[in-house]
Copies of this chain bind each other. A is one copy, B any other.
Amino acid sequence: MPMLPLIDEKEANAEVRAVFDDIKTSRNTDWINNFWRALANHPPTLKRTWESLKEVMMPGALDPLTKELIYLAVSVSNGCQYCTASHGAAAKRLGMSAEMLGELIAVVGMANETNRLADGYRVPVDERFENLF
């Protein structure tokens, strides 16, 4: 059960509806998923989050699928069930296969393992790794 009711398009005010319309247009769908319906309880957060997401996820030096894979990997690593499910679906729409998902989860697992090995041994950063760029 959500903390606040999921806002339906019909009950949405003009500010919320404008964002919902943009989501539907941008994604070429007629459907709004629960995340945005929850955020609609606080319209400024809805608007800011949607606009930030559009900006961050647009094609750049990284292509959209790579960005979505990174998003999914972080969501898995954080144990966020909703985000794992929704960004899993988004990555699949952009071309992620079951095989790619299997490899992604394996990398997330290894990263979490070695992150803790590095923390457990308190490994000092090598000088050669400083000043990356």
Contact = CB atoms under 8 A, between A and B. Distances in A.
Interface of A: 1-6, 31, 33-35, 38-39, 41-42, 44-45, 48-49, 52-53, 55-57, 60-62, 66-67, 69-71, 73-89, 92, 97-126, 128-133
A109 B105 contact: no
Contacts of A44: 55, 106
Contact of A42 (B1, B2, B31, B102): B102
A77 to B, nearest CB: 5
Nearest to A77: B74
Nearest to A129: B85
A20 to B, nearest CB: 15
Contact of A3 (B56, B103, B122): B122
Nearest to A37: B123
A102 B41 contact: yes
Contacts of A117: 35, 38-39, 45, 49, 105-106, 108-109
A131 to B, nearest CB: 6
A119 B86 CA distance: 13
